[in-house]
């Protein structure tokens, strides 16, 4: 997926009119079967060349299609467009593992000197599952009141039904098989790495993620009093990393936890305090780590956890796998 960073000019294509660069650049998700190291690099080269050569979404998709077909045959699926409106599809049968990466792209030759970080930040997700496409598609959102009963009867079975391949990329990082050069901190409990949303240059948009090693913690609902030391350690070590590497003083970071998360392996988001936010920091979805720790400290040991007992209120998009079931359950409660 390509995200707009900071382009101030527009370009014109024959028959297309000026391209609006203020509303975001083209987005691309590339999906492939067995991504060898060679193919991973090729995915970067092919997508980069297509973005450099074309501005029209269907042309970008067609160019990527042409190159992948030429090199590997019709074994892939690519989606390109601000609203995923341009599709070029070949079905795949087997996905080996997930691959997340990003690279910079420039809209014009002159941008290379003016914007060394790139006009566009291109994120590549291989393979792109239906969940990825749903996540990045425009959709309506409703406010849900998830009761403990709704969580136990709807959410828990949903999480259990998810294929392990969804979080295989995380396990490969935790097991030391992937992304080891990018790790800023590692312990027996968690590690800290840069999030794919950060370009590694712009300090105000700094974005890290702490991933815990305990796979039994799926979400904020699973947190208990015994996890307080873990959460405090994440806060402490991330603060130390930020100070050592970027001279960010205490209070310069914002820590939060998503519910529902993109993937159900517990992780904490860590961003610069000046980060402009975005949809990932909406009230309801983002829970401040400090607040979570404080609530857990109020727990009485022998009682159910506060996150077991709470009704959680949040917005959920209609493309989410839980949308229909939770919406129906909430409508049933409103009738009672």
What are the b/e assignments for 56-83, b being 16+ CB within 10 Å?
bbebbbbbbbebbeeeeeebbbbbbbbe
In angstroms, rounded to a whole number, what is the distance separating the alpha carbons of residues 284 and 178?
32
DSSP 3-state assignment of 224? Answer: coil
Is 8 buried (19+), middle (13-18) or exposed (0-12) by CB count in 10 A?
Answer: exposed
Both tokens of 109, joined, read: 């030759």
Both tokens of 318, joined, read: 């209609």
Is 134 buried (19+), middle (13-18) or exposed (0-12) by CB count in 10 A?
Answer: middle
Q: Of 258, 267, 275, 287, which one is the catalytic site residue?
A: 267
In angstroms, rounded to a whole number, what is the distance separating the alpha carbons of residues 48 and 12?
19
Cα angle vertex 67, ends 65, 70, to 5°? 105
> Which of 87, 23, 11 is CA-nearest to residue 55?
11
Q: In what order do the strands lie in the sheet with 86-89?
A: 28-32, 76-80, 86-89
Annotation marks residue 267 as catalytic: yes
Both tokens of 2, joined, read: 């390509």
Residue 176 Ramachandran class (φ > 0 left, ψ -120 to 50 alpha, else beta): left
Q: Which residues contact 61 (CB under 8 A, 6 or more apart)?
A: 28, 78, 79, 80, 81, 86, 87, 88
The helix/strand count (H/E) of the chain reads as 11, 16
- The residue to which tokens 């970067």 are assigned: 44
The alpha carbon of 316 is separated from its chain's Cα centroid by a whole number of angstroms, namely 16
- Residues carrying an active site annotation: 267
């Amino acid at each position: 997926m390509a995200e707009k960073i900071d382009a101030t000019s527009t370009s014109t294509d024959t028959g297309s009119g000026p391209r609006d660069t203020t509303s975001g650049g083209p987005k691309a998700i590339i999906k492939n079967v067995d991504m060898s190291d060679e193919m991973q690099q090729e995915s970067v080269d092919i997508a980069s060349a297509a973005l450099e050569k074309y501005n029209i979404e269907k042309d970008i998709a067609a160019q990527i299609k042409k190159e992948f077909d030429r090199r590997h045959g019709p074994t892939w699926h690519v989606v390109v467009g601000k609203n995923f409106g341009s599709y070029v599809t070949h079905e795949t049968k087997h996905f080996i593992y997930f691959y997340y990466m990003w690279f910079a792209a420039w809209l014009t030759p002159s941008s290379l000197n003016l914007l060394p970080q790139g006009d566009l930040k291109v994120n590549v997700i291989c393979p792109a599952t239906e969940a990825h496409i749903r996540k990045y598609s425009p959709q309506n959102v409703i406010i849900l009141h998830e009761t403990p009963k709704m969580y136990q009867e709807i959410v828990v079975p949903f999480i259990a039904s998810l294929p392990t391949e969804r979080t295989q990329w995380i396990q490969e990082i935790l097991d030391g098989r992937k992304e080891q050069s990018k790790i800023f901190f590692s312990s027996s409990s968690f590690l800290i790495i840069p999030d794919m949303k950060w370009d590694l240059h712009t300090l105000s948009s700094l974005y890290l993620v702490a991933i815990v090693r305990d796979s039994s913690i799926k979400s904020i609902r699973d947190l208990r009093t015994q996890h307080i030391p873990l959460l405090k350690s994440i806060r402490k070590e991330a603060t130390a990393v930020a100070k050592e590497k970027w001279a960010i003083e205490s209070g310069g970071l914002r820590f939060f936890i998503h519910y529902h998360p993109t993937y159900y392996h517990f992780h904490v988001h860590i961003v610069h305090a000046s980060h402009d936010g975005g949809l990932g920091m909406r009230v309801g979805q983002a829970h401040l780590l400090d607040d979570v720790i404080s609530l857990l400290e109020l727990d009485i040991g022998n009682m159910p956890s506060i996150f077991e007992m709470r009704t959680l209120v949040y917005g959920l998009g209609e493309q989410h796998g839980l949308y229909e079931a939770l919406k129906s359950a909430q409508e049933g409660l409103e009738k009672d």
